[in-house]
Structure 1
Amino acid sequence: MPGSSLLPHGGPDGPHRIRAIGFGAGDYAFNLYWQTVSLYLLFFYTDSLGLTPDRAGIIMVVGAFADGLADLAIGFAADRWRLRYRRIVAWGTVPLAILFMLLFIQPAMSGEYTFALVLTVHLSFRILYALVNLPYAAWSTRVSDHATDRTLMSGSRMTFGALGAVTVAFAMPARGEGYGGMALLLALVATCVLAAVVWRVPEQVSDDGPQAVARSIRRDLGALSHNRPFLMLGAATLCVTVAGAIIGHSVLYYFTYILSAPVGGKQALAIMGVAGAVAVPLWTAVAMVIGARASWLIAAGVGMLALAGLVLWPAVPGVILSIIVLAMVQAAMSGFHLAAWAMLPSAVDHGESIAGFRVEATAFSLFMLVQKVGLGLAALLLGLSYAHWGYEGGTPDAAGRAAIYWLMVAGPFATIAVGAAIMGLSPRPDQASTNISDTPSA
Structure 2
Amino acid sequence: MSATDAQPHELPRQLPRGVRIGYGSGSVATGAFGTVPGLMLLPYLTDSLGIAAVLAGFIVFVPKAWDVILNPIAGRISDRTTDPRGPRRPWLLRAGIALSVAFALLFAAPGMATWLEAAWVLVLFLGCATAYAFFQVPYVAMPAEMTSSYDERTRLMTWRVAILAFTIMLAGASAPAIRDAVGGRDGYRVMGLAMAVIILVGTVGAYVGTRRAPVTAAQPGAGGLRDQLRVVAEARDFRWLLTTFVIQALATGSMLAGVDYLAKDVLGKDGASTILFVCFVGPALVLTPAWSAVGTRIGKKRGYLISSVVLTAGALLAATAQSAPAAVVFLAVGLVGVGYAGCQVFPMAMLPDAAAVDARRTGSNRVGVYTGVWTAGETLGLALGPGVYALVLAIGGYRSSTDDVHVLQPDSALTAITLGFSVLPAVLMVLSLWWLRRYSLDSAQVDERVTA
Q: Do the structures match in fold with TM over 0.5?
A: yes
Output the CA distance in 1 between the equivalents of 2:243 and 2:149. Answer: 30
The 1:153–1:412 alpha-carbon spacing in structure 2 relative to 1, beyond 3 Å, is same
Structure-2 change in CA distance of 1:375 and 1:262 (3 Å): farther
Number of the residue aligned with 1:343: 350
Match for residue 301 of structure 1? 309
Q: Return the alpha-carbon distance in structure 1 between the equivalents of residues 379 and 61 of structure 2.
A: 9
Give the deviation of 1:292 after TM superposition. Answer: 1.4
Equivalent pair of 2:233/2:239 in contact (CA under 8 Å): yes
Aligned to 2:27: 27
Q: Deviations over 1:169-203 (max 9, x none)?
A: 33223557312112212322432342244235315
Report % sequence identity: 22
Correspondence 1:157 to 2:160: yes
Instruction: Describe the SS at the equivalent of 1:172.
Output: helix
Where does residue 125 of structure 1 map in the other structure? 128
Instruction: Report if the CA contact (8 A) 2:108-2:192 is conserved.
Output: no
**Cα distance, 1:253 vs structure 2:** 0.4
Tell me if structure 1 keeps the 8 A contact 2:61–2:383: yes
Distance 1:214 1:430, change over 3 A: closer
- What does residue 8 of structure 1 align with? none
User: Are 2:374 and 1:362 equivalent residues in the alignment?
Assistant: no
1:158 Cα offset (Å): 0.9
Paired residues of 2:72 and 2:373 also in contact (CA < 8 A): yes
Distance 1:353 1:187 in 2: 39
Match of 2:443 in 1: 431
The counterpart of 1:263, out of the listed 267, 271, 279, is: 271
Letter in structure 1 aligned against 2:431? V
Would you say 1:108 and 2:111 are equivalent positions? yes
User: What is the match of residue 195 of structure 2?
Assistant: 186
Give the aligned length: 422
What secondary structure, in the 3-state scheme, does the structure 1 residue paired with 2:409 have? coil
- Could you tell me whether the CA contact under 8 Å between 1:246 and 1:379 is conserved in 2? yes
| Deviation, structure 1 residue 19 | 2.4
CA distance 1:197–1:319, shift in 2 (3 Å): same
CA change 1:231–1:146 in 2 (3 A) is: closer
Q: Does 1:233 align with 2:241?
A: yes
Q: Is residue 275 from structure 1 mapped to residue 283 from structure 2 by the alignment?
A: yes
Distance (whole Å) between structure 2 residues aligned to residue 249 and residue 301 of structure 1: 21
Task: Give how far 1:149 is off.
Answer: 5.8
Q: Which residue of 1 aligns with 2:9?
A: none
Report if aligned partners of 2:311, 2:339 keep a CA contact under 8 Å in 1: yes
CA–CA distance in structure 1, aligned partners of residues 192 and 224 of structure 2: 41
How far is 1:269 from its partner? 1.0
- Give the whole-Å Cα distance in 1 for the aligned partners of 2:16 and 2:202: 20
Q: Does 1:405 find its partner at 2:418?
A: yes
Q: 1:283 deviation in Å?
A: 1.2
Query: Which TM-score applies when normalising by structure 1?
Result: 0.87
State the Cα deviation string for residues 131-171 of structure 1 (Å, max 9, x = none). Answer: 12222333444555667764443221111111111111332
Q: Sort the Cα spacing of 1:428 and 1:320 in 2 relative to 1 into closer, same or farther, 3 A.
A: same
Show the counterpart of 1:99: 102
Letter in 2 for 1:31: G
3-state SS of paired residue (1:105): coil
CA distance in 2, matches of 1:398, 1:309: 20
Q: Who is 1:45 aligned against?
A: 45
Where does 1:171-182 land on structure 2 (aligned, <5 Å)? 171-174=174-177, 175=180, 177=184, 178-182=187-191
2:395 aligned partner: 388
Give yes or no for the alignment of 1:323 onto 2:325. no
Asked if 1:77 is matched to 2:86, the reply is no
TM-score w.r.t. the length of structure 2 is 0.85
CA–CA distance in structure 1, aligned partners of residues 239 and 383 of structure 2: 20
Amino acid in structure 2 at the alignment position of 1:168: A
1:81 to partner: Cα distance: 4.1
Compared with structure 1, are the counterparts of its residues 208 and 105 closer, same or farther at alpha carbon in structure 2 (3 Å cutoff)? closer
Unpaired runs of at least 5, structure 2: 4-11, 402-407
The one-character-per-residue Cα deviations of 1:331-359 (angstroms, maximum 9, x if unpaired) are 21221222212222232345457767453
Hey, what's the Cα distance between the residues in 2 that align with 1:207 and 1:228?
26
Once residues 356 and 137 of structure 1 are traced to their aligned partners in structure 2, the CA distance between those partners, rounded to angstroms, is 20
Alignment partner of 1:246 is 2:254: yes
Instruction: Output the amino acid matched with 1:86.
Output: R
Q: Separation in 1 of the partners of 2:16 and 2:160?
A: 15
Matched-pair contact (CA < 8 Å) for 1:75–1:365: yes
The aligned counterpart of 2:8 is none
**Residues 433 and 279 from structure 1, CA distance in 2 versus in 1: closer, same or farther, beyond 3 angstroms?**
farther
Counterpart selection for 1:418 from 416, 420, 431 = 431
Is 1:16–1:149's contact at 8 Å kept on the other side of the alignment? no
- 384-393 vs 120-129, which deviates more? 384-393
1:54 is displaced (CA, Å) by 0.9
- Cα offsets for 1:58-113 (capped at 9, x unmatched): 11111111223222111122334436322222223332212111111132112322
Q: Distance in 1 between matches of 2:439 and 2:30?
A: 33
Code of the aligned partner of 1:422? W
Q: Deviations over 1:249-284 (max 9, x none)?
A: 111101211121141122111221212222211211
User: What is the rounded CA distance, in whole Å, between the counterparts of 1:223 and 1:213 in structure 2?
Assistant: 10
1:29 aligned partner, one-letter code: A
Which amino acid in structure 2 is aligned with residue 194 of structure 1? Answer: T
